[in-house]
Amino acid sequence: MLIFCVMTIDFHTHYYPPCLARRALRGVDDVVEGDADGTLAGLENAMRGAGVKLAVALPVCGRPGHERTVNDFVLNTHGNGIIPFFSVHPHSENAPALVREYADKGLKGVKFHPNMQNFVLGDPCLVPLWRAVRDAGITAVFHCGRPGRTPTDLDVYPSDFLPLFDILCPERTVLAHTGGYGITDKELAVLAGCGAYADLSLASSQFTPERFCHVLSVLPADRLLFGSDSPWRDIRANLDFVSSAVRDKRTLDMILHANAEKLLFGAE
Ligand SMILES: [Zn+2]
């Protein structure tokens, strides 16, 4: 019997304008296992079906200078159960100023995607951007690992973030997909010791139950965030997978909501 907490927070979701949703879903080199259609209504349905109360929506601006279009859509449409993050393209000329602007509007976090945004974490030109993120006191979520089924030169794993943590606060940084699809034991050890959060989106397709139990035994429980990557993955299926692997109720509560509440609302 699985325990579904009414306060469950999904820290990794996406949705798109209805006219673009189908194209967005097909535009990623990955299977679609979720039952959401890529729209806000689809996400809200999937949340209801899984008993998820809050979801962090992560837009990604794929081209420099297109932040307004991408962010305004999420900011103008999000419902009560959605916590909108924003996106800034690291190669946009005014990227640090945009971070300050959106943070001043009260947004709680920003999403970066090295593969889709075609940037290198250690690019010295990006130091002002990382400083702006740190100074704004917001959370930064980074896509980690390959972007879909095929590895690329821009795939990043936890050790790639260590130099960045001279600037960014690890305790306000989330490494998505448990540090990246195909994470090795060596990278897992780096993730365990670096102080950053990891979201567990893609866990059900990334790990066998046995491997996932090992991953959970290595990573600190106070740094894990439940996530699904809806609409690419089914929220309910990932929730079942995570809940089945965590026997201790207190740990499950931390993963499903308490850690996210601390990060999003400063709750203890
Ligand atoms: Zn995602």
The pLDDT tens digits of the residues spanning 150-204 come to 888 899 999 999 999 999 999 999 999 999 998 999 999 999 999 999 999 999 9
- Distance CA(29)–CA(87), nearest Å, equals 21
Neighbouring residues of the ion ligand 1, judged by CB less than 5 Å: 229
What is the pLDDT confidence band of residue 20, given thresholds at 50, 70 and 90? confident
How far does residue 266's CA lie from ligand 1's centre (Å)?
24
- Report pLDDT for 90: 98
- Distance CA(20)–CA(230), nearest Å, equals 16
How far does residue 28's CA lie from ligand 1's centre (Å)?
10
How far does residue 13's CA lie from ligand 1's centre (Å)?
6
How far does residue 229's CA lie from ligand 1's centre (Å)?
5
Give yes or no for a contact between 85 and 110, defined as CB atoms under 8 angstroms apart.
yes
Give yes or no for a contact between 237 and 264, defined as CB atoms under 8 angstroms apart.
no
Helices (H), the chain: 18-26, 40-50, 67-77, 95-104, 114-117, 127-136, 158-161, 185-194, 203-206, 209-218, 235-245, 249-253, 259-265
- Distance CA(226)–CA(72), nearest Å, equals 26
- Report pLDDT for 1: 40
How far does residue 234's CA lie from ligand 1's centre (Å)?
12
How far does residue 174's CA lie from ligand 1's centre (Å)?
12
- Report pLDDT for 151: 85
Domain count, the chain: 1
How far does residue 9's CA lie from ligand 1's centre (Å)?
15
Q: 158 in a domain, yes or no? A: yes
Q: 54 in a domain, yes or no? A: yes
Task: Name, in order, each residue with C-beta under 8 angstroms of 231's C-beta and a sequence gap of 6 or more.
Answer: 13, 14, 15, 21, 25, 32, 34, 36, 37, 38, 42, 43, 46
The pTM (predicted TM-score) of the whole model is 0.94
How far does residue 17's CA lie from ligand 1's centre (Å)?
16
Q: 4 in a domain, yes or no? A: no
Dihedral-angle region of residue 266 (phi above 0 means left; psi in -120 to 50 means alpha; beta otherwise) = left
How far does residue 111's CA lie from ligand 1's centre (Å)?
9
* Residue 247 burial by Cβ neighbours in a 10 Å radius (0-12, 13-18, 19+): exposed
How far does residue 239's CA lie from ligand 1's centre (Å)?
16
Q: 132 in a domain, yes or no? A: yes
Residue 38 domain boundaries: 9-265
- Report pLDDT for 3: 47
How far does residue 76's CA lie from ligand 1's centre (Å)?
20
How far does residue 65's CA lie from ligand 1's centre (Å)?
21
Give yes or no for a contact between 87 and 59, defined as CB atoms under 8 angstroms apart.
yes
How far does residue 188's CA lie from ligand 1's centre (Å)?
20
- Distance CA(71)–CA(153), nearest Å, equals 27
How far does residue 175's CA lie from ligand 1's centre (Å)?
11
Q: Is the peptide bond before 90 cis (omega within 30 degrees of 0)?
A: no
The pLDDT tens digits of the residues spanning 96-127 come to 999 999 999 999 999 999 999 999 999 999 99
CATH code (residue 225):
3.20.20.140
How far does residue 125's CA lie from ligand 1's centre (Å)?
25
How far does residue 14's CA lie from ligand 1's centre (Å)?
7
Q: 2 in a domain, yes or no? A: no
| CA separation, residue 107 to residues 18, 88, 268 (Å) | 23, 13, 20
How far does residue 230's CA lie from ligand 1's centre (Å)?
7
Q: 1 in a domain, yes or no? A: no
Distance, C-alpha 111 to centroid of its chain: 7
What is the pLDDT confidence band of residue 18, given thresholds at 50, 70 and 90? confident
Closest CA to 85 of 199, 182, 219, 181: 199
The pLDDT tens digits of the residues spanning 228-264 come to 999 989 999 999 999 999 989 999 999 999 999 999 9
Closest CA to 84 of 114, 59, 112, 47: 59
* pLDDT greater than 80 at residue 216: yes
